[in-house]
Structure 1
Amino acid sequence: MSSESPLPNHLLPHDSLAELSRGEGGPATVDLLVGAERSRRLLLLRTLDDTTGLGPAWDLLSRAQLRAPSVVDDVLMYPQTGMWLAGALRRLRGSAAAEEPPLWVELGHASALAAAAALRAELDFSVEVPVRLGKVPLPTLGCAVVPTTVPWARATVRSEAGHAVVETPGATVTVPPPGSAGPGWHSVRRLVVGPPGARLEVALDDVDPYRTYPRPTEPRPLPEEAAAQWREVLEQAWAVLLREQPDTAEAMRRGVFSLSPTPARERFRPRSVTSGDAFGGIQVSEPDDAVQLAVTLVHEFQHTKLGGLLHLTPLLRRDADSGTELWYAPWRDDPRPLPGLLQGIYAFMGITRFWGTRRTAPGMDALAHFEFALWRTHVAAALDQVHRHRHFTPLGTQLSDSLRNRCARWLREPVPEEPLALALMCAADHATRWRVHHLRPPATAVEQTVRAWLDGEDRPPGALAAEPDVVPDPSARWLDSLAMLVRHRLGGVDDGRRSPEDPEKAAARVTGALSGDALLAAGDPTAARHAYVAHLGREPGRAGAWAGLGRALEQAGTDPEAARLLCHRPERARAVQLALSQATDAPPDPVRLAAWLGSSPPRPA
């Protein structure tokens, strides 16, 4: 490729930085981020060539660039190209595990890129490319399916006088024009939705191996029926965004390039992923409906913008050891390092903005108010943790302050009583479940407390009040179960009225939920208390039951000392009860133990 013209310097003007600091970013700002990403990709490609010598692939890309520079730009800026480039360089530098595919297959992807660019530029050429588990992917175009008896092999892509083929010793597959089908060929579908002047055009990529983040997966072409469903739901989601988030939609047209579909998940629990290396790409599970897809697009576009900003300037000090400090992220089951928490804050600012707008539309039900109230509470809690953190750069501090100020304005907005109360309960419940999973009181303090209980002391020792350690619990899953049950309740309308449901059946619809959770979500804290106590009798270490019991006591207005302890320091009750279960055949009633642990002040150690 030509390297005669120097790459431009990329500077974001004050207005663009201010937009991004507010969690926004209009079309002009996104154009600047896209331009910077193009330069970054060129540098990565040049580095890869300097390191390995891309040879024929480099030469073919150079020919294509001379013939059709916009085509090479399109291939270069394809999200999956960025994912491949970054992964190949990490692997060469030893900072990524040397997993399948073999290195020669990964580096050979450069030839597949060059072949795709040359085909689109209508060049005559011949180049050798990798075969991956019987498939030959050509980025932005599609993949050929060829017979093979080995997982990794080689094929030749050849084009002459407008006729292109993929050849192996056992087969020849004709490559049809872009977007067309053919025997042995799966095309990358292009989805174009929206009215003239406001169209979104993206690839629905189910074949590029680098379409999944953070690790590649081999092509899995969608059936036509599934692809048609994606087209329909994207059309509907885009209509929602144009109507309710027009500025975001206009920016998204410039910065979202591909969707990588994955199978549907449990209702209200979609999965979506972006990567800073794959600017403009979104991996997303089949959505429940158009609104969910619209929310997901907003969420992941926030990550895309922040990733682009981080490629230009750091928000955290480079010499700060921020990776060793773990934080509570209200949208995650696991503790997060500061960079990950910052990404989440930025993404969920977008989600809060979406629901803040949507809930004002005519005919909106309680669910939209609940989502707005829940996410503004979660984002505020995360921002309060990191406010003016010493690891922020000046720009990072500016961004954090700007987001916090905007969230504070959201917190002042009125929300109807029922969805507000449910949102606050679910936000507090998630934080409590996180604590009981990931915080550990000192072992010696637990031992002293067990002895004090068995000796009949009137209150626990002061040692138990020491700050607990953060010990990530890999079993922590589905901490959002209560919020999921509330969503089912608010979103399950029958003849205009919410109908009660058997708690066991309700809990069965939400992975990780207990019957006590379903009773709590349904507004019956007294029954929830009994269900949680019964569960702890069978399984004294069940973290969610301890957290739910505290919330049930709080909602019922009973046993205030036990409620306070379990809502704010549940890890103490769980640790002591587990130790007592080993020390005695008859562990105490959980409420009675929590009330004793919550007696104030603790006696001196």
Structure 2
Amino acid sequence: MLKSLFEASVGALHDVEHAWNLLADAENIAPAVVEDVVMYPTVGVRLAKALHDIAGAAPSWREAGVLHTVAAAAAVRSGLECAISVPVVHGAVMLPTVGQWQLPSTGFPAGQAELSIGGGEVAVAHGGTFLRARDHRVSAGGRTLAITFEDLDPHREFTTPVAPAPLDAVEREEWAKLLDEAWHLLTRWHPGCADELAAGLRALIPLGAGTSVFAASSSNAFGGIAMSAKATATQLAEALVHEIQHSKLNALVDLVDLTTTEPGWVYAPWRDDPRGLVGLLHGIYAFTAVVEFWHVQRDLVPPAEARRAWFSFALRRAQVRAAVDSLRGNTRLTDLGRAFVAAASVRVSVCETAPVPDDLAGTVADLLAEHRAVWRMHHLRPEPADVVVLADAWMRDAPCPGRARSEVVPGGTTAARPRSVLLEMRALAPDRFERAVSLESAEAMFARGERGSAAAAYARRVRRDPRDVDAWIGLGLASQVAALLDQPATVRAVHACVTARTGAPPAPEELAAWMTAS
């Protein structure tokens, strides 16, 4: 059936039968080789894209030609002799697990190149510069990690094709050095995670400088992890532990249902955007492993890194606990989904027996409160009719009639969290904090723990400019008035409604207190 789909999509111009037979011959000779090629992460990305396009409109040759590139790669590695046409993407021919030929800018047919394969060697019509796939192998503690540093394949970042970005010698050496150190760390202190990575990690995809991505994986690219460069082996180990959990869960959710099909958005304490329920489960699963990583690792890092290690442990532990608790009674979880969440809760509870310094625990509580308030301000939209009812009650000096209905609306820009930056700086770099902040700013007052002064400063900012979203959030955090923490967008909307109808803006503190009393 798969062959028929490709034949229907690319037509007679490209010999699908030849590519299919070539792949079958390679499997007869070396089935493990064919499995290795077909299961390579970037092949999964290309196959998913091609099959998606086939199901809709006809895909382009460079997408549907994945069958030909897979067959060619299998032929090279199994020692077959053949000739085959393959797609050209970004001026190069890529054979997964083999390498890439960067073609001259002129002299070859647009969109395709002819390959002659024999004895494990490849000749490309019109020539080209060959870059071999960069494999890396490291052993420690009786365990071996064998991966490819994937910096060539156009589909390595799980999105639309991107140009090759081969690491230079220094970059490659630094990646290899940190990976070796991370592997020694994992095999010694986290053997279970090391076993998972040895079995599941196939390609490590270095992301370019300037990316904001810490690490990423894809359901279509099992065994592939893309990540930015890390400063230490510990950071690299943490990222690997995190992402391999996503790979495992991506495989699981294709086999079982953890949630119902009912749509809806939920809050994740580690994301600025609303998430689907499966996305929240992914985060719980991955960060539970990170909590366990830091539960062991926090006492093993060098003294200069100890404070940040404890902070990471405390933050991730609190985030996972908040997420797990938010799912109590959620009717969109299946029985398996509830068992999944319960298992994560048990794992985190083991780590919750470890005490955390009081000042770090307080900082983490403040960080979570701000993140939640910012998210609710930007993504919870109150029902307009309910806002009018609340405004009418306020103007009549009547008791607050209750909460406004709200719905989650993804989109919009989530504001920066200036208090979080200062709180983290004060906890981890107090000398820098004292040099960096203005003594008069509301943010500095809040970070120093002067909450009454901060609340007054934020209230003044709201009165000066009710459109100052951050001032509303700061007022709620500093005053701890429940309505500003739980329904900040509603308080702000009622304030605007009353102001528009009376010309007299209500005192923000009094309005929030009135709404809290309901």
Secondary structure of the residue aligned to 1:278 is coil
CA contact (8 A) 1:369 1:420 kept: no
Deviation at 1:516, TM superposition (A): 4.7
Q: Does 1:294 align with 2:249?
A: no
CA contact (8 A) 1:333 1:477 kept: no
CA contact (8 A) 2:400 2:514 kept: no
Q: Does 1:437 align with 2:378?
A: yes
Large movers: runs of 4+ above 6 Å: none
Task: Return the match for 2:155 from 188, 207, 210.
Answer: 210
Q: 1:230 to 1:541 in 2, by over 3 A?
A: farther
519-528 or 431-440, larger mean C-alpha shift: 519-528
Deviation at 1:377, TM superposition (A): 1.9
Provide, for residues 551-602 of structure 1, a one-character-per-residue CA deviation record: whole Å limited to 9, x for no partner. 2234xxxxxxxx333223322222233445656777455435434443x24x
Partner residue, 1:394: 335
CA contact (8 A) 2:422 2:444 kept: yes
Task: Return the match for 1:130 from 78, 82, 87.
Answer: 87
Q: 1:359 to 1:426 in 2, by over 3 A?
A: same
Segments of structure 2 that go 5 or more residues without pairing to the other structure are 10-14
Segments of structure 1 that go 5 or more residues without pairing to the other structure are 1-43, 174-183, 506-514, 555-562
Q: 1:222 to 1:488 in 2, by over 3 A?
A: farther
Once residues 137 and 352 of structure 1 are traced to their aligned partners in structure 2, the CA distance between those partners, rounded to angstroms, is 39
Deviation at 1:486, TM superposition (A): 4.0
Cα RMSD (Å): 3.2
TM score, norm. by length of structure 1: 0.76
Alignment of 1:366-445 (within 5 A): 366-387=307-328, 389-445=330-386
Secondary structure of the residue aligned to 1:277 is coil
CA contact (8 A) 2:268 2:275 kept: yes
Once residues 150 and 288 of structure 2 are traced to their aligned partners in structure 1, the CA distance between those partners, rounded to angstroms, is 28
Partner residue, 2:131: 186
- Residue identity opposite 1:292 in structure 2: Q
Q: Does 1:73 align with 2:49?
A: no
CA contact (8 A) 1:272 1:296 kept: yes
Once residues 5 and 426 of structure 2 are traced to their aligned partners in structure 1, the CA distance between those partners, rounded to angstroms, is 53
Once residues 291 and 265 of structure 1 are traced to their aligned partners in structure 2, the CA distance between those partners, rounded to angstroms, is 21
Task: Return the match for 1:275 from 197, 206, 218.
Answer: 218
Once residues 499 and 510 of structure 2 are traced to their aligned partners in structure 1, the CA distance between those partners, rounded to angstroms, is 15
Once residues 234 and 283 of structure 2 are traced to their aligned partners in structure 1, the CA distance between those partners, rounded to angstroms, is 20
CA contact (8 A) 2:201 2:224 kept: yes
CA contact (8 A) 2:415 2:470 kept: no
Partner residue, 1:159: 117
- Residue identity opposite 1:566 in structure 2: L
Secondary structure of the residue aligned to 2:204 is strand
Deviation at 1:472, TM superposition (A): 2.2
Deviation at 1:301, TM superposition (A): 0.6
Q: 1:517 to 1:273 in 2, by over 3 A?
A: farther
Alignment of 1:590-605 (within 5 A): 590-598=508-516, 600-601=517-518
Q: Does 1:84 align with 2:46?
A: yes
- Residue identity opposite 1:547 in structure 2: I
The count of residues paired between Structure 1 and Structure 2 equals: 509
Partner residue, 2:12: none
CA contact (8 A) 2:50 2:64 kept: yes
279-288 or 193-202, larger mean C-alpha shift: 193-202
Q: Does 1:564 align with 2:496?
A: no
Q: Does 1:109 align with 2:66?
A: yes
CA contact (8 A) 1:459 1:597 kept: no
- Residue identity opposite 1:476 in structure 2: T
Task: Return the match for 1:200 from 140, 145, 153.
Answer: 145
Once residues 131 and 462 of structure 2 are traced to their aligned partners in structure 1, the CA distance between those partners, rounded to angstroms, is 53
Deviation at 1:416, TM superposition (A): 1.3
Deviation at 1:420, TM superposition (A): 0.8
413-422 or 62-71, larger mean C-alpha shift: 62-71
Deviation at 1:45, TM superposition (A): 5.6
Secondary structure of the residue aligned to 1:313 is coil
Partner residue, 1:259: 204
Once residues 135 and 584 of structure 1 are traced to their aligned partners in structure 2, the CA distance between those partners, rounded to angstroms, is 67
Task: Return the match for 2:266 from 327, 330, 351.
Answer: 327
Secondary structure of the residue aligned to 1:469 is strand
Deviation at 1:527, TM superposition (A): 5.8
CA contact (8 A) 1:57 1:110 kept: yes
Deviation at 1:391, TM superposition (A): 3.5
Deviation at 1:108, TM superposition (A): 0.8
Q: 1:445 to 1:387 in 2, by over 3 A?
A: closer
Once residues 225 and 294 of structure 2 are traced to their aligned partners in structure 1, the CA distance between those partners, rounded to angstroms, is 21
Partner residue, 1:22: none
Provide, for residues 406-434 of structure 1, a one-character-per-residue CA deviation record: whole Å limited to 9, x for no partner. 22333343211111111111112211111
